């Protein structure tokens, strides 16, 4: 069952970006653009976590946080342009569980959400490790083991390989990989994928006949696994 996140944010661009990323990560989301609407949706949506902007019209985030805390202990992460230590302390003292300063990167937001949900026991810890013949891709420790040896691999290369290997024999277009591995905030060109695949092949070429990183001409790439 997907975890539910309530987004209370009056900037429509930020709210939509959060919604897109979280839905892509498998969360169910609901968006409110005022504090009052946020409280109303909080009661009906019953989220597992609240992303709460501080500077909201009519009823600010501090007040919303206080009212939620009067009812229960649902995790709250505050989002704000204010970065002063006093604001952070105020938010945490009022019952917020974490505090993220704008502008932020979506990967940081996702990491904070997962961390807070783990602390509250609302998220099962899923091991991000894949094993094939003479190959282990461990995204928890960011390690690549080839024929039992640890191979130094940049994070994005490892994330790309893990993404491909998570769906063996599925073909991904370059644009899909840019979207799903690099994210919505990436505006580079598709040759970036080609460069990363080329570097991965240099590390993996000839290791095993049971799998390979294959080019599907005119389409994209796949992690091909031989039939047992």
pLDDT at 90: 66
User: What is the rounded average pLDDT of the residues 158-164?
Assistant: 92
For residue 192, what are the contacts with CB-CB under 8 A and spacing of at least 6? Answer: 178, 182
145 forms beta bridges with: 136, 150
pLDDT at 187: 57
pLDDT above 80 for 188: no
Question: CA–CA separation, 149 vs 20, rounded Å?
Answer: 38
pLDDT tens string 104-113: 888 888 888 8
Total domain count for the chain?
2
pLDDT at 112: 85
48 shares its domain with 68: yes
Residue 20 contacts residue 184 (beta carbons within 8 Å)? yes
Q: What count of other Cβ atoms lies within 10 Å of the Cβ of residue 53?
A: 24
110 shares its domain with 18: yes
pLDDT at 175: 86
Question: CA–CA separation, 209 vs 97, rounded Å?
Answer: 49
pLDDT above 70 for 181: yes
19 shares its domain with 104: yes
User: What is the rounded average pLDDT of the residues 21-27?
Assistant: 89
More confident residue, 220 or 123: 220
Question: CA–CA separation, 223 vs 115, rounded Å?
Answer: 30
In a domain, 90, yes or no: yes
Structure tokens at 7: 């987004």
Instruction: Give 120's pLDDT tier (boundaries 50, 70, 90).
Output: confident
Which CATH number characterizes residue 105's domain? 3.40.50.2300
147 shares its domain with 75: no
pLDDT above 60 for 186: no
pLDDT tens string 43-88: 999 999 999 998 898 899 989 998 998 888 899 999 887 665 566 6
Helices (H), the chain: 12-24, 35-45, 61-71, 85-93, 106-119, 155-166, 174-177, 191-204
In a domain, 143, yes or no: yes
Domain stops at, among 93, 119, 145: 119
Could you list the residue range(s) of the whole structural domain that residue 173 is in? Answer: 129-225
Instruction: Give 185's pLDDT tier (boundaries 50, 70, 90).
Output: very low
Helices (H), 94-170: 106-119, 155-166
115 shares its domain with 166: no
In a domain, 124, yes or no: no
pLDDT at 34: 94
Domain stops at, among 75, 101, 119: 119
167 shares its domain with 100: no
108 shares its domain with 12: yes
Which of 162, 117, 107 lies closest to 140 in space, CA to CA? Answer: 162
pLDDT tens string 25-43: 889 999 999 999 999 999 9
Domain stops at, among 95, 119, 143: 119
180 shares its domain with 216: yes
Which of 214, 209, 213, 211 lies closest to 225 in space, CA to CA? Answer: 211
């Amino acid at each position: 069952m997907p975890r539910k996140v309530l987004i209370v944010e009056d900037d429509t661009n930020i709210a939509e970006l959060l919604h897109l990323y979280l839905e892509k990560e498998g969360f169910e989301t609901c968006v409110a653009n005022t504090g009052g609407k946020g409280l109303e949706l909080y009661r009906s949506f019953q989220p597992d976590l609240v992303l709460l902007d501080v500077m909201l019209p009519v009823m600010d985030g501090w007040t919303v946080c206080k009212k939620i805390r009067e009812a229960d202990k649902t995790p709250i992460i505050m989002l704000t342009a204010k970065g002063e230590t006093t604001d952070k302390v105020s938010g945490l003292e009022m019952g917020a569980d974490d505090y993220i300063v704008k502008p932020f990167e979506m990967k940081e937001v996702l990491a904070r959400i997962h961390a807070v949900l783990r602390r509250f026991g609302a998220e099962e810890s899923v091991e991000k490790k894949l094993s094939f013949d003479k190959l282990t891709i461990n995204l928890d420790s960011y390690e690549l083991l080839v024929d039992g040896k640890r191979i130094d691999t940049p994070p994005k290369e490892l994330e790309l390989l893990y993404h491909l290997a998570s769906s063996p024999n599925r073909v991904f277009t370059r644009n899909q990989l840019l979207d799903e591995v690099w994210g919505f905030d990436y505006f580079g060109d598709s040759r970036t994928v080609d460069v990363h695949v080329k570097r991965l092949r240099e590390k993996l070429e000839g290791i095993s006949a049971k799998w390979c990183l294959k080019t599907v001409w005119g389409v994209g790439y796949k992690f091909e696994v031989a039939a047992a």
